[in-house]
Chains A and B, each alone.
Chain A
Amino acid sequence: MIRLRGVNKSYQSGGAQLQVLKDVDLTIREGELVSIMGASGSGKSTLLNILGLLDDHDAGTYHLADTLIQNLGERRAAQYRNRWIGFVFQSFNLLAFKSALENVALPLYYQGVPRKERNRLALEYLRKVDLENRAEHLPSQLSGGQKQRVAIARALIARPKLVLADEPTGALDSATSLQLMDLLRSINEQGITMVIVTHEPDIAARTDRTIVLRDGRVQRGAT
């Protein structure tokens, strides 16, 4: 599903070149549930951005679902993100003025799916995360765990090939975290490849494989 070969990424920072990723080689197979760990500054966020087509790499090759990702341009990147990748964020990133249902339906809005159809699908996905009865609630009326489940429904509605979760349990208490991990696990078992960035060993332990980054290099778990 994911194949990185010799990927480099550096940022210009106050005149100095700051190399964040150094010759990263990485393979993630279809259907895997993988965690990425690393201290802050290890480059794990940058890696996630590149995997999620939110940022581009300087050198090396990145194949996503056997497609070479190179000089996509913003429009193509947006379309790939929309159809292939579901995002789950640490701070949920739901739009505050939209109901749970509308939040879940938003990716389909950008695919041009008619309102009725996308609301029907959104309700179906809310049911999958057991929040059908909260469909008309605004995010502010939901608990942290509920918000993250809405976000997961939103990540899944476009039937992505890959779900990228950035510290998905970072803002949740440990009991809720474990419930959420069970949910992610069950989604993964339906065949969706999943990459979770985390700094909690508990969470990493519940994945198939842990990739450890250190100083911009893959220290462990590259394949």
Chain B
Amino acid sequence: MNFDAWQEVFEVLRRNKLRTFLTALSVAWGIFMLVVLIAAGNGLRSGVEWEFRDDAMNSLWIRRGKTSVPYQGHAPGRPVTLDNADLEAIRREVPGVERMSARYHVWGGTQVSRGNRTASFELRGVHPEHQYLERTLMIAGRFLNDLDVSERRKVAVIGPAVKATLFGPTDAIGEMINVRGVNYQVVGVFEDQGGEGELRRIYVPISTAQLVYHGGNSVHQILFTTGAASLAETENMARRSREVLAARHHFDPDDRRALPISNNLSQFKKLMDVFDWVRTFVWVVGVGTLFAGIVGVSNIMIISVQERTLEIGIRKAIGATPRSIISMILLEAVLLTSLAGYLGLVAGLGLVETLRRHLPENDYIRNPTVDVRVALVATLLLIGAGALAGFLPALAAARVRPVVAMREVTA
């Protein structure tokens, strides 16, 4: 493509400023919408991913339920219990378990005091690997370890709200807190991305909690991560876990209500599936808008070719080949759509970037972005769109017969 050809096209575009502007606007708008919609879709998606940041995504949570069907002579409605040995059983018989912890809850608010400060917090007995399941981040000291559990140490890891209430700005590590008459030594302070409730939590070794609060061997929840297992594999692991526990506690292995298991991965996957649909929808709508722009360009150019019939006829009479006419019109369309689209792209990215910087933090949209790949695809799309828009007009122009130069009679 030589420079002269471009110059010819620029001349035509300059000559029809209003037409050029209106055509450009429709394409620019199409690309602008595409970019903004994609960014909105991405923002919604990251918003949801952000909601899930608190817990390990690949985890199974097993709770105690009540039997809903009779089994081996037992009537339905019997509460199912879980105990320490169940953890061993699952580890032994369910392949793929990665990190595992049980929970022993001390229900309701628990009076916790230090010196003359007293407040109500929630105490929870857990295993050391609980840290990974809840994505607990240590900001001081350490989390619980295996020795704490095996020696039933009276140690506690406290949330930032607990630390602030009981200690204020002073260091908490190594200090004692009193929980309903029992003293615990604080070994760590954590941070958690979850809600308010997480910040008011106190973790102690599960063995200590069972001992102090008369829990015996019983646990309230068992949770474990599933590593890199696929969704189908994690569902198998859930089923297998229920079978193992059903055999140990005598309930029907198909009785889901006896042992509710929630699969974080499947919930996450389901939501992500929704967002994949949203993304597809966004592309369809965006490309549709763009396509409307292309049709607009094509229409206007067909009209322009008709208006320029005489000009094209003259060009042909003095020696323009059909090919040179086609390339002239195609070039015009590609140039027009690419430039306009580029402006739309820049405007869209500008808006997205402005929103990203100034949007107040909220639960629905986080970090709306359009990545380079999308911009690249859009660019190719634009050039293709231009060629597509110019195709019919170019054919129409190529069909103009040079004889029109002869026929036209003006004064």
Contacts and interface: CB of A to CB of B under 8 A. Distances in A.
Contacts of B11: 97-98
B317 A81 contact: yes
Contacts, number: 76
A89 B399 CA distance: 21
Interface stretch (B75-83, B198-206, B320-328): B320-328
B318 A82 contact: yes
Nearest to B2: A112
A142 B280 CA distance: 59
A149 interface: no
B402 A83 contact: no
A111 to B, nearest CB: 7
A90 B405 CA distance: 10
B406 A89 contact: yes
Contact of B310 (A87, A93, A111): A93
Given A45-B406, A48-B406, A49-B403, A110 B318 contact: yes
| A contact residues, range | 20 to 34
A78 interface: yes
Given A74-B322, A110-B324, A111-B319, A166 B406 contact: yes
Interface string A142-154: 0000000000001
Contact of A115 (B4, B315, B406): B4
A171 B410 CA distance: 8
Nearest to A87: B317
Given A49-B406, A81-B319, 16 more contacts: A52-B406, A54-B401, A75-B321, A78-B321, A78-B322, A79-B321, A82-B318, A87-B317, A87-B405, A89-B405, A91-B409, A93-B314, A95-B315, A107-B318, A109-B8, A110-B320
A89 B321 CA distance: 20
Interface string A95-112: 101100000001101110
Contacts of B8: 109
A95 B324 contact: no
A186 B402 CA distance: 28
B316 interface: yes
